[in-house]
Amino acid sequence: MAPVYDEFTHLNDYETWFGMLLPALERHGLRQGALLDVGCGSGKAFPPMLRRGWKVHGCDVSPAMLELAVAKGGADVRVDVADMRELPRFGEFELVWALNDPVNYMLDREELELALAGMRRNLAPHGLLMFDTNTLHGYSGFFCEATVVERDGWRLCWQGLSNPGDPPGTLFEARFEATPLKEGEETRITPEVHRERHFPEAEVLAAIEAAGLECLDVFGYTDEDGLVQPLDEAVQYKVVYIARAANHSASASTP
């Protein structure tokens, strides 16, 4: 979906999003410096962070997405193709994050722990990790309903294939299709099925600990209320976690 990803997600407001996320990190001592954006997709987070004076390094499993990311960041960013389950150590970063639910594409607890351990290896000694997951409430909407966007000559359809009321830990599925609005044009984008696993808070916290991290904060999130505590999966559609290396003074040298 790379060629139409930005059109499908055109309502995502990263400036507002970061205006809430960064103060939450600053309360835990965030130092401005280098950001590792894991699962960076098309690089929509790059310009807002560059404008804030950050050095940005992005990685994603999709080369097609990274082509778009390079166009947004230009010579000011470095990008690498990487599977977050086998994340290389790119360096030491004051901030590592994985936003807009890439960790939900991890299909079991083992994959989640591998991803989190890889992010930990990239933290500077004082670095912070932030990532988000989808709640059951979030899945009961987006992965159980149809969302259609018509934009820039395309009809973009996300069809949820799952059922509201599915239990915690469910593997949710949705089908994405892109069809040209102008008749006679061939569809250039292959339909694809997206699979995401719901991770309950207790399971995420256990994975954080197993990956050598210490959880510092947990927030629920809605567009209307922003970051809120306590987490209520029946009301909020995202969970935001902040963590650091459990032995953070030695994180840079930990293999």
The residues spanned by each domain of the chain are 2-134+198-253, 137-196
Is residue 193 within 8 A of residue 173, CB to CB? The reply is: yes
Distance in angstroms (rounded) separating the CA atoms of residues 204 and 116 = 10
Per residue in 30-84, pLDDT (tens digit) is 999 999 999 999 999 999 999 999 999 999 999 999 999 999 999 989 999 999 9
So what's the pLDDT on residue 189?
A: 87
Distance in angstroms (rounded) separating the CA atoms of residues 62 and 83 = 9
Per residue in 228-240, pLDDT (tens digit) is 999 999 999 999 9
Amino acid at position 180, single letter: P
Q: Is the pLDDT of residue 194 over 60?
A: yes
Distance in angstroms (rounded) separating the CA atoms of residues 172 and 32 = 36
User: How would residue 254 be classed by pLDDT, with cut points 50, 70 and 90?
Assistant: very low
User: How would residue 252 be classed by pLDDT, with cut points 50, 70 and 90?
Assistant: very low
Average pLDDT of the residues in 108-135 = 98
In percent, the amount of the chain with pLDDT more than 70 equals 95
Whether the upstream peptide bond of residue 23 has omega within 30° of 0, thus cis, is: no
Mean pLDDT taken over the chain: 94
Distance in angstroms (rounded) separating the CA atoms of residues 237 and 240 = 10
Is residue 218 within 8 A of residue 201, CB to CB? The reply is: yes
Query: Please, what CATH class does the domain formed by 2-134+198-253 belong to?
Result: alpha beta
Residue with tokens 């991290």: 213
